[in-house]
Amino acid sequence: MSEKFLEVSGLGMRFGGITAIDNLGFSVEYGEIRGVIGPNGAGKTTTFNVISGFYKPTAGSVRLRGETISGLRMYEVARRGIVRTFQHSTLFTEMTVMENVLVGTHMRYRPNIFSSIVGRDAEDRRRARTRATESLEFFGLLERASDRAADLPHGHQRALGLAIALAAQPEVMLLDEPFAGMNPEETKSMMSLMFKLRDSGVTILIVEHDMRAIMGICDYITVMNFGRLLAEGRPEEIRTDPAVVEAYLGSARDVA
């Protein structure tokens, strides 16, 4: 199969005079967990923002199953099956946990104002609720369904972010620093959730600083530095790659 599942090619993103991404290319297979790592300012989050449609790239393209999705608006990208989460706990904090996840079902059960008024959408509402319940159950949040999202502990909030994304039944999930601010315990349970997600048929891309987590769960890792592709490979290859070690630690000469 020559057509890649998710392919980034020749991607460039410039903000005024600053080049955040420069001629970046990589491709992701269906069903893998892919890590995107690199030192601060390497352009990882920018790459995510371009793939998810938050930014329009200034060069190159992103293709999903051969269809160009770069340049589309974020909700259009989402409707094609790529759903993202955000750094920090970006949630609908004033709404209940259940309502948060119901928003995630928006794409599958698109509300219609007229059928809402005359009450013809009962079936859709029931299905959306079922879907939301499944998603909450997946992340072990069901017993907190009627709590306000803001009242959840940090680990649960991160899980809720994933539950919202999963409720949309995506093919690809872009996770922006899902382990940030987590203690080892929470990290561990989050990692097992990601394996579970992958096994349910979701392709996962992760931007992350937590090296131990990333080495532990990724099938394949893309390393970026200064907006460019630095290295690509399996975790054990990346760990020993001299270019990667240099980018992270400085060259041996500097140390000596």
Query: What are the angstrom distances between the C-alpha of 177 and each of 45, 86, 96, 122, 207?
Result: 9, 8, 24, 37, 5
189 scored as a contact of other proteins (CB under 8 A): no
91 scored as a contact of other proteins (CB under 8 A): yes
Q: Which is nearer to other proteins, 106 or 198 (CB)?
A: 106
Q: Which is nearer to other proteins, 53 or 227 (CB)?
A: 53
Ramachandran sector of residue 60 (left: φ over 0; alpha: ψ -120 to 50; beta: rest): left
Residue choice 6, 128, 213, 214 for contact with other proteins (CB under 8 A): 128
Which residue stretch of 59-67, 82-90, 201-209, 223-231 sits at the interface with other proteins (rule: CB under 8 A)? 82-90
- How far apart are alpha carbons 79 and 74 in whole angstroms? 9
Which element (helix H / strand E) includes 89?
none
3-class state of residue 93 by DSSP: coil
Smallest gap from Cβ 178 to other proteins, in A, equals: 14
Q: Which is nearer to other proteins, 167 or 224 (CB)?
A: 167
Q: Which is nearer to other proteins, 83 or 213 (CB)?
A: 83
Q: Are 225 and 38 in contact (CB under 8 A)?
A: yes
Of the candidates 222, 230, 162, 220, the one whose C-alpha atom is nearest the C-alpha of residue 26 is: 222
Which residues here bind other proteins, judged by CB under 8 A?
52, 54, 73-75, 78-79, 83-86, 90-95, 99, 102-104, 106-107, 109, 111-113, 116-117, 121, 124-125, 128, 164-165, 167-168
